[in-house]
Structure 1
Amino acid sequence: MKRLIATFALTALCTATFSLVAFAEDVKIGAGAAPSENVLKPIAQPLLKEGISLYVSSSGPKNAMMDLERGVVDAAAAGLTFQDWLNLMKKEGHEVKDPASLQWTMIGKDKIVALVNKENPVAKLSKEQLQGIFSGKVDSWKEVGGADVPVLIVWGKLTSGTNSMFANKIMDGKEVTKEVIETMTAEDIRQNVASNPSAIGIGPLAVLDGTVKQVESPEIGRDIILVTKGKPSAKVQKVLDFIKGEGQKYIKK
């Protein structure tokens, strides 16, 4: 009898979950690292109760904007101001054709942090030291108070918003070295740094989870915005309303 009751309870739970998904409206959002990790992924499950199935493509701000223009996604999000986003698109050879047709809303705030392996004894890096490391001038941790081992830089191809903001705030025109471990998303950066004692990377604050440590460094704050073509659709507006309301308790700050 107990097994029958447990089976019935499990079936009821699965049926309820299926019902939520089956009757939910789909909302597709292309996004960079900051909105994905800080805002959109944390609210995806709670949004099901509001009748919204949120699909997040962590494709980076460039691809997200291109997908929005093509109508592949309902909205795009990035950890950049709107003008910085437009500048980034132009720099990468994909200038936005009709910026006036786009409407943006701020959905959060984020900080960009420097991530190192938990075994790395370095606890603090100045702006000048970060410049030296990421330009390739500093190639051993010994030069900044660490062990006598090579510095390995992990760099994300799909974190262009993070990369652009870091370059603007920290690098002062110096180019990031080409000698990097190239990966894709902020999560990939975290995993690579966690598994390599010599590695360093940058990412949104939300990517910190105990497997890596944050180095004390100059603060890089940024806005997180969501962009739509014209006025947000009714279902996208539901997402925005949730973010500004009940969703605040799920968003990482």
Structure 2
Amino acid sequence: MTEVIVPVKETFEDENPSLRLVTIQSKPGTELADLDGGSLDAVVSTVDLHTFLQRSAETGTAVDGDAFREVPVGTNETVIFLNDSVKIKKLSRKQLKGIFTGRITNWKKLGGPNRRVVVVWSPAADAENEAFIGKVLDGEQVVSTFCQVASVEEMRAKVLETPGAIGIGPSALVSRGVRVPGSLTVAASIMLITKGEPSPKVQKLLDLLNDVAFLR
């Protein structure tokens, strides 16, 4: 949403006065059922259709996979957000794994200040979290004592205001005051899923995304 939908919302509504572009956070596992039932026009996520179908089956809301279509609409890059009090220029994959799994609890161990590590985490960003956990943490879970926030926007705000804080989020949220160390990024394709072929109003959105070059 942050990478491709939010940036075009105003333009989309200006070009289509009769339409509104409304975004909601779905409960994991219910997305395709909501799409199948008509309460959503499209699902946008870094989770692909195959994985969504698996989740639907696991939550008891299985749907006909042949009824859906997916198209790539951009790329999400997950980066590291650091509070400005942590003057560290680079974090390796091994160090990130130690931080986010709770093995490293003080920045002094990494050459930083003698300050407690505060992991800020948004469980709602499940697709982004899943990719980070798989590719950086080797499937291990995030430390249970993380500071929980409701969204990636709140993650950025919490990291900004909390000495010693670290979090992850889309590169589109990088702003003044946030340190982004030279660390690996986790890139994932952003997919737009519809029931059947895109409706005319969803096609208008796809055309706009193509015009602003989010499509690769």
* CA spacing shift, 1:43–1:109, aligned 2, 3 Å: same
For the structure 1 residues 146 and 67, does the alpha-carbon distance in structure 2 shift closer, same or farther, using more than 3 Å as the test?
farther
Query: Which of 20, 40, 49 is residue 82 of structure 1 equivalent to?
Result: 49
1:48-59 → structure 2 map (5 Å cutoff): 48-51=13-16, 52-59=19-26
Between the aligned partners of 2:170 and 2:123, the Cα distance in structure 1 is 15
Note the 1:158-237 alignment, pairs <5 A.
158-237=124-203
The one of the two structures with greater contact order (alpha-carbon pairs below 8 A, sep at least 6) is 2
* TM-score normalised to structure 1 length: 0.77
CA, structure 1 residues 107+86, in 2 after alignment: closer, same or farther (shift >3 Å)? Answer: same
TM-score using structure 2 length: 0.89
In our comparison, the structure showing a higher alpha carbon Rg is 1
Q: Alpha carbons of 1:186 and 1:63: their partners in 2 closer, same or farther (altered >3 Å)?
A: farther
Note if 1:71 corresponds to 2:38. yes
The alpha carbon displacement at 1:49 in A equals 2.6
Aligned partner of 1:136 among 97, 102, 108: 102
Q: Percent identity of the aligned residues?
A: 30
Residue correspondence of structure 1 range 75-114 to structure 2 within 5 A? 75-87=42-54, 89=55, 93=59, 96-114=62-80
Which is further off, 156-165 or 67-76? 67-76
User: Match of 1:143, SS?
Assistant: helix
Q: State how far apart, in whole Å, the 2-side matches of 1:168 and 1:91 are.
A: 22
The structure that is strand-richer by fraction is: 1
Q: Which amino acid aligns with 2:166?
A: I
C-alpha RMSD over aligned residues: 2.3
Q: 1:213 to 1:91 in 2, by over 3 A?
A: farther
Q: What SS does structure 2 have at the residue aligned with 1:130?
A: helix
Report deviation, 1:240. 0.6
Find the counterpart in structure 2 of residue 123 from structure 1: 89
Measured after TM superposition, the shift of residue 85 of structure 1 is: 4.2
SS of 1:162's equivalent? helix
How far apart are residue 119 of structure 1 and its match?
2.4
- Number of positions where the alignment pairs a residue of Structure 1 with one of Structure 2: 214
Task: List runs of 5+ in structure 1 lacking aligned partners.
Answer: 1-35
Counterpart Cα distance in 2 of 1:96 and 1:205: 34
Q: Which amino acid aligns with 1:83?
A: H
State the Cα distance separating 1:68 from its structure 2 match: 2.1
Tell me: CA distance 1:39–1:97, structure 2 relative to 1, closer, same or farther (3 Å). same
What residue identity is the alignment partner of 1:81? D
Q: Return the offset for 1:219.
A: 2.5
CA contact (8 A) 2:72 2:215 kept: no
* CA gap 1:96/1:60 in 2 versus in 1, 3 angstroms: same
Offset of 1:60 from its aligned partner? 6.9
Retained in 2: the 8 A contact 1:139–1:151? yes
Whether the 8 Å contact between 1:42 and 1:252 is mirrored in structure 2 is no
How big is each residue's C-alpha offset from its partner over 1:184-234, in whole Å with a ceiling of 9 and x where there is no partner? 111011111011021111111111111312122122111011101111111
Q: Deviations over 1:131-183 (max 9, x none)?
A: 11111111111112211111111111210011000011111122211111111
